[in-house]
Structure 1
Amino acid sequence: MTDENALYAVSPLDGRYSGRTEALAPYASEAALMRARVEVEVEYLLALTDLDAVPLEFTDDEAAALRAAYEDFDAEDADLVKRIETEGARGYDATNHDVKAVEYFLREHAPERSHSWIHFGLTSEDVNNLAYRLLVAGAVEDVLAPELRGVRDELVDFAHEYADLPMLARTHGQPATPTTFGKEMAVYAARLGREIARIEAAADDLAGKLAGASGTWAAHHAAFPDVDWRAFSREFVQSLGLNYVEPTTQVNPSDDFGALFDALSGANGVLEDLAVDAWLYVSQRYLGQDAAEGETGSSTMPHKVNPIDFENAEGNLAKADSDLHFLGEYLSSSRLQRDLSDSTVKRNIGGAFAHCLLAYRKLGDGLDTVTPNEAVMRDDLRSNPEVVGEAVQTILRREGHGDAYERVKSLTRGERVSMDDFRELFANLDVDENTREDLLALTPESYTGLGGDIARDA
């Protein structure tokens, strides 16, 4: 789509954001689906020739020409398939059926003696379920997973570089035991890493079916009752790099898609949490943002540098999750042995993936433009000395003071205190000098526990 035409796109994915989502076109476009269908049909036709019962064979050149039909599939080929479907072309009447149009297209590349064997015994779902899984697997492995790994790697870099940078934590929105900025980034890196592993495992578990119009190989068996069609189908599906599912109705039950979409949603949940926290850190001035030359932050307030990348990521993650949940639930059910409501729904998988991709890239952009503001973080720690109260009462518990919690609570709860207030408390405690030195050494900036070590292990 040209830039001019993009301005008239119905969806922002193909309009405003087309430059950021185009990496999915080889996996999510209608032309991609056509090409994948041709691949399935060609490989199935070639697999039939391995059966002794089938009186068909191809020369090496003929087999290569058949494979070229999908390996070299281009825009002109896609246009021809579409014209065969919608208006008729090359002597074929309009099929008004997208898979039948692919069958007729393939006749243009196959010897005439093989035409009756193209799509032999198949139902459209046999072709479609395999084609979609080839595309989905490619989209995840080649586009989405690498983007997620890129975000994870950025988080690991932050964790290592700022492993020891102390930062006030907030639990329930209130000042809490200090942490380090690097440790907080390590948490997100670890969470995201686990979700990436789950996504990759789900993509590896995608499973296809090939069992005919109602899952019984009825047509295949009627034509060649002595062929082990179940074994043939298993071997064929696995030859495409997919797992095999049996038994089925006409449709693949799509439980594998549900697992994959759920895994993607898990990663999106982690990233939405990160986007919100990053937005809050910017608002607290814990993170400073690079200002692009000439960029406008606000149409009325010239001083603003908005955290727009994190906001954009948050919105797209929410939209992607909504779509993924819908797809996972809808595609796992079908009335009786088959209804076609899933056909139009499956065409929206690419849209869900595009919102994922857009969010991952926006989040990466946001991380690229922020830098921790060490001075602000340290000032905030010094302004909230009450957070060392936890350490004080814990050390006193170690020394056998049963009222330690209550004494610190009476000093600090709901009150603004200073380190001088703590020193006065320490002076009046019945403790040995070593314990008093431990207490006097406490500062909000140094009270970060093992945060630095955790971050360095990211």
Structure 2
Amino acid sequence: MSNTAQTLPSGRVALSQQSPAIALGPLDGRYRPQTAVLVDYLSEAALNRERVHVEVEWFIHLCEQRALTGLEPLSDEQKSGLRAIVADFDAASVAELAEIEAVTVHDVKAVEYYIGRRLPGLGLEHLTPLVHFACTSEDINNLSYALGIRDAINHVWLPAARELVAAVATMARNAKATPMLSHTHGQPATPTTLGKELAVFAHRLGRQVQRVADTEFLGKLNGATGTFAAHTAAAPDTDWPETSRSFVSHLGLTWNPLTTQIESHDWQAELYADMARFNRILHNLCTDVWSYISIGYFHQIPVEGATGSSTMPHKVNPIRFENAEANAEISCSLLDTLAATLVTSRWQRDLTDSSSQRNIGVAFGHSLLAVSNVLKGLDRLDVAQEVLAEDLDQNWEVLGEAVQTAMRAEAIAGREGMDNPYERLKELTRGHRVDADRMREFIAGLGLSEDTARRLSELGPGQYTGLAEQLVDRYLD
């Protein structure tokens, strides 16, 4: 390579020419350790491997079904040999496919020729025309994407998401009885427990995980415009819809019987909406935890040797949650775009989906990275019990709700002197700090029944948490 190609106009070394390759994006660079597992399912190489897989299985299926005159089921040895083409797909295979595609200028056609090269070694050269039989490229692509997405969801994203939900749920159970001052509209409000608030997030995230787990992965194989035209022209007596249905089902997908040239991608839009919603709830968890850290409800456990700030030695920044926020937002933007774009195709086919779907792995990667960072962040948190207790003790006015509601109940029961309960507590508490003595003095002078007066006088902000602890026990699972 010439020196000119190795340098930039500024005279600096061209990093793009260095070996090994230097990544353009962070998922293949800085964050690769957290996201590399997705390469096995959603990379270009993985897509090509799935294309080979689909083509091989279609070849075998046609023989098994005797879909054409003269076809017979293959021997076990022949089927094993064909499936070995998929199992042995490696870096050399990627390179070979690239060489073929450089001539064909068509990725799926390159896969067809790649498989065809291997048939003579299996004694199947006479069946070379069966490779890609009656298929349009989209027959292979839609099934290949569905398989890759399904496996990425089941083997990567769902395990990570479930680990996160379990971690939040464990924190919720551990802190289910830890009282905490609530902040509605940012103002002191009816106390809760830290565990109950975390349980809300575990429950919300868990629902989205279940929706993702219930995804129906659709696929089609019906020709250039979804009519089985080429199929019936070649073999009019074969039940091609049934052959297609059984093949798609054999792959572990749900058959879509009515499409244009492309599978309509509606299932992808549904999946991406659920994933984006998970990301947004995760983002909400991050902002809440970040805020609790900022007011001292959580201590961050320092990482040995780590630097919080380059100039302020005392700082331990909540970077895991900030990183997760950013990556959740990027993932959502991509997932939203994919969901909006993929459900529309001009007439029977255009190629907008082809370019869009190449970014599925990026969208998944940023979501996975967000999950990874939240897990690491949660693992470095310690509940600041003393701060929570002090905050509660500084806000006795939050018992105003309890007192005025008890007064309403006594008024309904016929007790005299319980008029204007809200207004009387408003006068006591709004704009005023109320300590324990003042609140108990006020309660004693209301003329409540002995039982109610005793119960309220024994109540402090730290005990005014209702059924928070029981809600965690009863409903978190």
TM-score by length of 1: 0.95
Amino acid at match of 2:285: L
Does structure 2 retain, via aligned residues, the 8 Å contact 1:310–1:363?
A: yes
Classify 1:422/1:5 alpha carbon distance in 2 versus 1 (closer, same or farther; 3 Å).
Answer: farther
Match of 2:432 among 397, 401, 415: 415
1:81 matched to 2:94 = no
Q: Distance in 1 between matches of 2:172 and 2:30?
A: 34
Does structure 2 retain, via aligned residues, the 8 Å contact 1:392–1:439?
A: yes
Q: Which residue in 2 is equivalent to 1:90? A: none
Match of 1:13, SS state, is helix
1:68 matched to 2:84 = yes
Count how many residue pairs are aligned between Structure 1 and Structure 2.
Answer: 446
Alpha-carbon offset, residue 7 of structure 1: 8.0
Unaligned 5+ runs, structure 2: 1-17, 412-417
Q: Which residue in 2 is equivalent to 1:388? A: 399
Q: Distance in 1 between matches of 2:237 and 2:71?
A: 17
Alpha-carbon offset, residue 343 of structure 1: 0.7
Q: Which residue in 1 is equivalent to 2:125? A: 112
Does structure 2 retain, via aligned residues, the 8 Å contact 1:389–1:412?
A: yes
Alpha-carbon offset, residue 429 of structure 1: 1.5
> Counterparts of 1:5-16 in structure 2 under 5 Å?
8-16=22-30
User: Alpha-carbon deviations, 1:316-349, whole Å to 9, x = none?
Assistant: 0111011001001101111111111211111000
Q: Distance in 2 between matches of 1:397 and 1:286?
A: 34
User: Alpha-carbon deviations, 1:40-87, whole Å to 9, x = none?
Assistant: 00000011112333423432211111010012211111111111112x
Does structure 1 retain, via aligned residues, the 8 Å contact 2:182–2:191?
A: yes
Q: Distance in 2 between matches of 1:200 and 1:105?
A: 35
Q: Which residue in 2 is equivalent to 1:334? A: 345
Does structure 2 retain, via aligned residues, the 8 Å contact 1:49–1:55?
A: no
User: Alpha-carbon deviations, 1:358-409, whole Å to 9, x = none?
Assistant: 0010011111111111000000000111111111111111111231111101
1:449 matched to 2:449 = no
> Counterparts of 1:10-159 in structure 2 under 5 Å?
10-52=24-66, 53-57=68-72, 58-86=74-102, 94-110=103-119, 111-159=124-172
Match of 1:439 among 448, 453, 456: 456
Q: Which residue in 2 is equivalent to 1:188? A: 201
Does structure 1 retain, via aligned residues, the 8 Å contact 2:300–2:380?
A: yes
Amino acid at match of 1:55: G
Match of 1:399, SS state, is helix
Match of 1:168, SS state, is strand
Does structure 2 retain, via aligned residues, the 8 Å contact 1:6–1:15?
A: no
Select between 70-79 and 9-18 the one with higher mean Cα deviation: 70-79
Match of 1:49, SS state, is helix
Does structure 2 retain, via aligned residues, the 8 Å contact 1:286–1:374?
A: yes
Identity %: 46
> Counterparts of 1:371-386 in structure 2 under 5 Å?
371-386=382-397
Q: Distance in 1 between matches of 2:347 and 2:341?
A: 14
> Counterparts of 1:223-238 in structure 2 under 5 Å?
223-238=234-249
Amino acid at match of 1:259: E
Amino acid at match of 2:93: D
Q: Which residue in 1 is equivalent to 2:410? A: 399
Match of 2:181, SS state, is strand
Alpha-carbon offset, residue 163 of structure 1: 1.0
Alpha-carbon offset, residue 6 of structure 1: 7.7
Does structure 2 retain, via aligned residues, the 8 Å contact 1:7–1:16?
A: no
Amino acid at match of 1:384: N
Q: Distance in 1 between matches of 2:281 and 2:473?
A: 21
Find runs of 4+ consecutive structure 1 residues off by over 4 angstroms: 4-7
